[in-house]
Amino acid sequence: MRLGPPAIDPRTRDDRRSGPGLSEPPLAASPRRPAWVEIDLAQLSRNWDLINQAKPPGLRVLAVVKDEAYGHGALAAAQTALAHGAVMLATATLDEALALRAGGIRAPILLFGARPEAELPWCLEYDLVCCVGDLATARRLAELATARGKPAVVHLEIDTGMSRYGVRWTAAAPLLAQLASLPALELAGVMTHFAMSDEADKTFAHEQRARFDQALAAWTAAPSSPALRHLCNSGGFLDLPEAHGDMVRLGILPLGVYPSAVCRRLPGLAPAMSVRAAVATVRDLFPGDTVGYGMRYRATTRRRLAVLPLGYADGFPRVRNQGHVLLAGRRAPILGGVAMDAMMVDVTEAPEVRPGDEAVLLGRQADEEITAHDVARWKGTVSYEVMTAWRARLPRVYRHTPPAATASPPPRPQP
Ligand SMILES: Cc1ncc(COP(=O)(O)O)c(C=O)c1O
């Protein structure tokens, strides 16, 4: 026999949350760690304003806040998005959605992906909208909804080329008909997801859109259905206006980062996240001295070195003699290999650097900037991984900058 809907307050699951920004120090009053992620909420708001100005009127926006809104803190990002007109939120896991509910978010939340059966009662209990792509899940949801006397709201996901979640486009029409025969199910949306919306070559994106249209054209109920059609992520929103449908799903763009180097730009958009640390110690390096594990750097001349109290266990890539941080408004090259909790940088050109000075690992300092795309290049990855890699042990600090303070200098073009 199955258990009924859980009578559990999501807050009782708080101890299981481990995402960035959510871990509290054991003593709330203990000094904050001298390495942190800073989120500029005013910039986040400006980004939403720019997106709202750029979008066609009437186009709805869903804010993707999975993985703590790519490391920015899901609650703060969700509240900002909703205050700027987002009609819906999306997360990837049940726990992420429950944390939003526990934080007081009442807006509709779409759960991306496929749900294991054990999660379905939770979804109904907490008014979470499931993506469905198979009849078995739809039927189980309908059964649970019938028992509760309240319809289960779902979006049908159609796989048009990601080969990830959803029903294959060629099989979507019969499934749509079957869903329509389940009165306890409310089909509130039909969606697909682009594999390559942010590349210059849009051939496959156009193909995916054609497959989506084809699947829906074969669905006789379509013309009268109130279901929202949504296909676009940030890349699609920027570059595929013909595919906007009724709603777009934006994750990276409101955070001020473009999904790629080639997609359309929104002037004024800038990253809301920066990563900072206070210099721990400063020391001299003499010819012949080596730096760090594996002795990856050996000084040939006298140099000055600053030690920063964070490393790869905080999400900075484990690079060796590659990349830089910003210190005293200049680029300070990384020397040797980045360690778990520390990294060494060359400040020979900035002799004024002292312990306690603020270094920037991601973001702006004076006229210099390190973008997520820069760090991604050093790491051989994409900006998405850089943003989501900052670990929970880096405290999140939320800042409200008045617009004038950041109006100048203008953000450097990305990446
Ligand atoms: C289904 C789905 N839609 C939208 C998004 C948001 O993508 P982006 O961050 O590029 O806007 C994601 C993120 O991976 C996603 O999985």
Does one domain contain both 165 and 96? yes
pLDDT at 24: 55
d(CA 94, CA 118) in angstroms, rounded, equals 11
pLDDT at 245: 96
pLDDT at 218: 78
Residue 285 lies in a domain: yes
Query: 255, 284, 306: which is the final residue of a domain?
Result: 255
Ligand 1 atom with the shortest distance to the CA of 62: 4
374-to-122, 170, 384, 412 alpha-carbon distances in Å: 40, 41, 12, 12
Residue 232 lies in a domain: yes
CA 12 to centroid of ligand 1, rounded, Å: 29
pLDDT at 415: 55
Q: Which residues of the chain have pLDDT under 50?
A: 1-5, 8-9, 11-23, 405-409
pLDDT at 94: 98
pLDDT at 30: 86
Contact between 346 and 308 under an 8 Å Cβ cutoff? The reply is: no
Does one domain contain both 213 and 244? yes
pLDDT at 11: 45
CA 29 to centroid of ligand 1, rounded, Å: 37
Backbone angles phi, psi at 185, to 5 degrees: -105, 130
Query: 255, 287, 306: which is the final residue of a domain?
Result: 255
| Site residues for ligand 1, CB cut-off 6 Å | 64, 112, 193, 233-235, 249-253, 259
Structure-token pair, residue 215: 């699947």
What is the domain extent for residue 346?
Answer: 273-370
pLDDT at 65: 98
Does one domain contain both 278 and 198? no
Does one domain contain both 170 and 290? no
pLDDT at 222: 60
In three-state secondary structure terms, 37 is strand
Contact between 367 and 323 under an 8 Å Cβ cutoff? The reply is: no
In three-state secondary structure terms, 258 is coil
Q: What is the CATH number of the domain that holds 107?
A: 3.20.20.10
pLDDT at 225: 72
pLDDT at 226: 75
